[in-house]
């Protein structure tokens, strides 16, 4: 199996996405994703770019040109401040500020903002 097929499948599973879910995100069929993951078909560069975006990585990583899974190099570096990386595409955000827990209303307001922005883009 090619490194591209292995990495697509591995990252999809790490993100806890089904083939159908990633297919829906990139507007493809589940069978297309299955064929990419089993190396029956090779995704075009455009499709690979969509898959990379959906998996929050780079085409270079999926093609095996780099081992840096992170989309931006600054995400991979540890500058000693031990802060956790938060994927803003996830609805589960860690909502604490300097050790103080945010109120439930404040959390809901924060979560509503990106949802509203996503709806406005459609």
pLDDT, greater one: 88 or 32: 32
In a shared domain, residues 12 and 42:
yes
Angle among Cα 26, 12, 122 to the nearest 5 degrees reads 30
pTM over 0.85: no
Q: How confident is the model at residue 89 (pLDDT cuts 50, 70, 90)?
A: very low
Q: Considering its fold, how many domains does the chain have in total? A: 2
Which of 34, 51, 72 delimits the end of a domain?
72
In a shared domain, residues 26 and 49:
yes
**In sequence order, which ranges of the chain are alpha helices (DSSP H)?**
3-14, 19-26, 30-37, 45-54, 59-62, 73-76, 104-121
Q: What is the pLDDT of residues 4-52, one digit of tens each?
A: 999 999 999 999 999 999 999 999 999 999 999 999 999 998 999 999 9
Q: Which two tokens stand for residue 76?
A: 């991979």
Which of 36, 51, 72 delimits the end of a domain?
72
């Amino acid at each position: 199996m090619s490194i591209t097929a292995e990495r697509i499948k591995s990252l999809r599973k790490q993100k806890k996405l089904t083939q159908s879910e990633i297919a829906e995100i990139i507007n493809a069929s589940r069978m297309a994703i299955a064929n990419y993951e089993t190396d029956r078909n090779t995704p075009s560069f455009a499709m690979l770019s969509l898959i990379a975006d959906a998996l929050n990585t780079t085409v270079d990583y999926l093609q095996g040109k780099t081992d840096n899974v992170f989309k931006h190099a600054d995400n991979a570096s540890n500058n000693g401040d031990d802060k956790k990386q938060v994927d803003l595409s996830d609805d589960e955000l860690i909502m604490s500020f300097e050790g103080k827990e945010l109120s439930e209303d404040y959390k809901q307001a924060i979560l509503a903002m990106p949802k509203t922005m996503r709806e406005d883009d459609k």
